[in-house]
A and B are shown apart, each in its own frame.
Chain A
Amino acid sequence: MATSFKTSRTWLQKYFSEELPSGEVLADTLTFHVVEVDGVENKGDDQILDTQILPDRAGYLLSHRGIASEVAAALNIPMSSDPLRTPVPEFPTTDKLTVDVDTSYVLRHLGAIMRGVRVGPSPEWLKSALESVGQRSINNIVDATNYVMLNIGQPMHAFDLAKISNDAGTTRITIRRAAAGEAVTVLTGETYTLTVDMFVIADALSGQALDIAGLKGGAASGITEATTDLFVSVGTYDGTTIRKMSQALKLWTDASQRYQNKISPELGAYGMRDILSLIKDVAGADVEGVVDVYPTPPMPISVSVSLSRVNGILGTSYVSDDMTNALNRLSLPFEASTISSGELVVTITPPFERGDIRIPEDVADEVGRILGYENVLPLELPAVAGTPDQRAYCGIERIKDFLVSRGFTEISTQSFAPEGEILLANPLQADRPALRAGLRENMQDALARAVQQAPLVLGPDSMLKLFELGTVFPASGEHLSLVLGYKGLIGKESKTVLEEVVDALLEAFPACGLARPETIDTNVCELSLKDVNLESLGEGYLPAKLALSEYHPFSIYPFALRDVAVWTPEGTEESEVSLAIAGAAGDLLARMDRFDRFEKDGRISYAFRLVFQSSERTLSDADIDPVMQAVTDALNAKEDWEVR
């Protein structure tokens, strides 16, 4: 959800007369006061911060000016100048340009005509500023538009005026809906076919679409070395439409990111001021005039909040000065008043770029983060009357405990299935396009795999018993379901294992809505918990609590089995044998289980199954035979022991 914005420390420094701290300190400062910094990269004399801008603040933070304003607030150092607080001079007007817009898409559009540009390489400072944040330098005109965007956050585009038709010297632009199937070839060469839900900046005289409005400039009207006159377009477009256009075209640009985060149309005038001035500086052009189409300027809003409300949200005990200092550090204009109780109330009128400040909670966030969330000290919740209701959950856990006590092991499997009654429009895996309607298939699959692993996992246990309790999604409505799985590992499978456990379940939990399934297969049986009254089942029940060890990872390589049986003298303990085996077998021994013991003629026979596995490779006989020889030798070496 976050948008990465590469922030240059050198660029930020332009906003301060005081020397800024290192990139690392800036990263920490920003992370704990406003926005996460995901890393600092050293680039020559510069340091580049990878700031992760979230949607609420993207309207002002996708810019060096925005980040600088937050550095100023967090470090409490003044900005030497702020382009958004410097009033925009009145632009000269012109009759050589008309702009007609579709107001359902265009919130504001400023167009300018500039004449006499000299297109060429950018000056070194501009080139290096752009390159420091990963942008390629193209020419002085394109670079200037990119610079202003990265500096104050306003996207813009410059067209070669000569490539647009004119009517006796007057250029006529229209920003309109695209025609179905209308194609635009963009600057980077790709051709996009548009739909009527998209918008273009077009030459009104020829009808030709010049670019995809708000997304990307067109190739046909691009700047070349031969360009002398410019049409400069600084627009503000509807963020929701832009987002849909980007998605449909799979075209995400620096411009579209800013528009979809709803930059203020007020910003447009600052963008126009800055681009006119910068192009004049780097390419020597003159401004003929500007046409500003601004159908409905937004009304400024204000938010009133009392100090006690802010403290009541944060759980702090800030005093009036704390709050007013925080607002001053943020350069948020406010009026302070004192209500009859003597308490401070502030009415903040956020500057246009701070569309994120709308309600008292937003103000609490501003105060809280600038004064530091480390100063919000942990408080214990007040006590509440009564016992918290955990009954339904306890009911579920009671069923699990019952099954675990009968030797069943819980598994968890995925909810996406090859078949089901509810299908996904956008499945992650084409072979699992549905939500599972039951748990049987996954259980069958898990059983099959568990049988393979049983000697390693269960040892010589005679049966494998698994269960899963989870949500299933039949068309009639989701509900919880329970599936039991069984496999006999030794000898013939018993047909009654699952029947017996179902009987036991029904007997243990009578009259709770648990119903006997119509069929109970030998290996798998699913019970719907749809009608089970989990609250009554869980009433007064305390689930067993377990401590887990650190996780022991399993090897992905196959294991191998070997048996060994040994005669030992009367009185020999099993542990003596197992210790002797373990000592001789070494690291490849993954597990051992005694599976037989009997006494005859004053001797005891112990039989062990040894499981060998490596975490690095598949073991062969050549690995295991010498180990088994070592085990045999070690056992035979004991007085009166004899490997059978």
Chain B
Amino acid sequence: MTQGRLHPLSVAIRDIADIFGRMGFGIAMGPELEDEWYNFTALNMLPDHPARDMQDTFWTKEQPARVPRTQTSNVQIRYMEEQIKKGIAPPYRIVVPGKVFRNEATDMTHEAQFFQCEGLAVGPIGTITLAHLKGTIEAFCKEYFGENARVRFRPSYFPFVEPGVEVDVWFEAPGKESRWLEVMGAGMVHPQVLKNAGVDPEQYQGFAFGGGLERLVMVKYNVPDVRLFYSGDTRFVYGFDETPK
């Protein structure tokens, strides 16, 4: 019987799971429809934070309203909370691939729904540092994009990390101009976020990162338009030749 095809996002998630799995990361999942606490407040986005504005976030008509999650970081909180409840102290290492939603106009590079991949590593204070964050992302990029991939950080800001950085990757591909690409946001988990999840920030610290999966796939395989991913169009899935590796 002729084999079917796997969607390129599934292929990418398998690559990610495999590479991070070898660095000790499990895979966690969580709800796509989330309440305000896990999506915002616990992540240090207090009620007057601009990211809560209607132009960025979808809200349900329920009372109280919930949000199709705006990032996979809700799973950071849920995962740590669950471990603490089970009496399991850090180290924690997870990646969280999942769908997220943003209330923004769609075009070739923006979708109102997309996949994000979150990463979280927490350990005793001083053991999981910004340097480990750089090493971990660089190790991933070398495997995923190629041996010449390098990572650089630029100062940035996300309420749930401090320090926060933008991560650029040096991307080289035959026949293409080598360049720096912005691939994700990252940083050291904000102590308040650890506290909100029940982890003592006096004893533990960690890093977190998160970026759009489609973008990785678009860069790696030269996909021109992000809207293809959720088109349900078989021509898109068959636009790649799949071979076992």
Contact = CB atoms under 8 A, between A and B. Distances in A.
Contacts of B99: 415, 470-471
Contacts, number: 292
B223 interface: yes
Interface in B148-169: 151-157, 162-166
A240 B221 CA distance: 44
Contacts of B78: none
A465 B14 CA distance: 22
Contacts of A55: 50, 157
Interface in B1-48: 1-11, 13-15, 17-18, 21, 23-27, 29, 31-33, 48
A450 B234 contact: yes
B59 interface: yes
Contacts of A383: 24
**Interface residues of B toward A: which range?**
35 or more
**Interface residues of A toward B: which range?**
35 or more
Contact of A446 (B25, B27, B165, B232): B232
B222 A551 contact: yes
Residue with the highest number of chain A CB atoms closer than 10 Å, among B31, B131, B188: B131
B4 A404 contact: yes
B130 interface: yes
A264 B103 CA distance: 32
B87 interface: no
B143 interface: no
B155 A34 contact: yes
Interface string B208-245: 00000000000001111000011111111111111111
A442 B230 CA distance: 10
A405 B27 CA distance: 24
Nearest to A392: B29
B23 to A, nearest CB: 6
B221 A378 contact: no
B245 A545 contact: yes
B125 interface: yes
B154 A380 contact: no
Contacts of A546: 6, 11, 14, 242-245
A313 B129 contact: yes
Contact of B17 (A31, A315, A393): A393
A333 interface: no
Interface in A545-577: 545-554
A580 interface: no
A334 interface: no
Contacts of B106: 428
Contacts of A308: 126
Contacts of A410: 4-7, 10, 237
A410 B156 CA distance: 37
B205 interface: yes
B14 to A, nearest CB: 5
A36 B157 contact: no
A551 B61 contact: no
A412 to B, nearest CB: 5
B3 A415 contact: no
A133 interface: no
A404 B93 contact: no
A134 to B, nearest CB: 23
B58 interface: yes
Interface string B118-144: 000101011111111011101100000
B65 interface: yes
A466 B221 contact: no
A445 interface: yes
A407 B27 contact: no
A131 interface: no
A376 interface: yes
A381 interface: yes
A453 interface: yes
Residue with the highest number of chain A CB atoms closer than 10 Å, among B97, B121, B128: B128
B62 A412 contact: no
Contacts of A427: 58
B23 A411 contact: no
Interface in A295-341: 308, 312-316
Contacts of A243: 48, 50, 53
Interface stretch (A11-19, A364-372, A513-521): A364-372
Contacts of A554: 235-236, 239
Interface string A450-494: 100110111001001111101101000010000000000000000
Contacts of B32: 415, 471, 473, 478
Interface stretch (A115-123, A206-214, A417-425): A417-425
Residue with the highest number of chain B CB atoms closer than 10 Å, among A57, A364, A404, A410: A410
A478 B33 contact: yes
B109 interface: no
Contact of A369 (B14, B93, B163, B224): B163
Residue with the highest number of chain B CB atoms closer than 10 Å, among A239, A260, A473: A473
A374 B152 contact: yes
Contact of B235 (A369, A456, A465, A544): A456
A136 interface: no
A509 interface: no
Residue with the highest number of chain B CB atoms closer than 10 Å, among A33, A56, A316: A56
A291 B162 CA distance: 40
A389 interface: yes
A388 B237 CA distance: 30
B229 A412 contact: yes
B190 A361 contact: yes
A547 B245 contact: yes
A543 interface: yes
Nearest to B52: A243
Contacts of A416: 112-113
B50 A1 contact: yes
B84 interface: no
A527 interface: no
Given A373-B165, A388-B21, A415-B32, A260 B155 contact: no
Nearest to A35: B155
Residue with the highest number of chain B CB atoms closer than 10 Å, among A315, A362, A383: A315
Contacts of A191: none
B171 interface: no
A313 B33 contact: no
Given A312-B129, A390-B27, A548 B93 contact: no
A409 B4 contact: yes
Contacts of A388: 21, 24-27, 93
Contacts of B1: 405-407
Contact of A312 (B23, B125, B163, B223): B125
A305 to B, nearest CB: 12
The 4 closest A-B pairs by CB, nearest first: A315-B131, A315-B129, A365-B163, A312-B126
12 contacts: A364-B188, A378-B134, A381-B93, A381-B128, A381-B132, A407-B3, A424-B58, A428-B58, A454-B234, A546-B243, A551-B8, A552-B239
Given A369-B155, A397-B10, 4 more contacts: A312-B125, A315-B129, A426-B103, A471-B32
Interface of B: 1-11, 13-15, 17-18, 21, 23-27, 29, 31-33, 48, 50-51, 53-54, 58-62, 65, 68, 91, 93, 97, 99, 101, 103, 105-106, 112-113, 121, 123, 125-132, 134-136, 138-139, 151-157, 162-166, 188, 190-191, 205, 221-224, 229-245
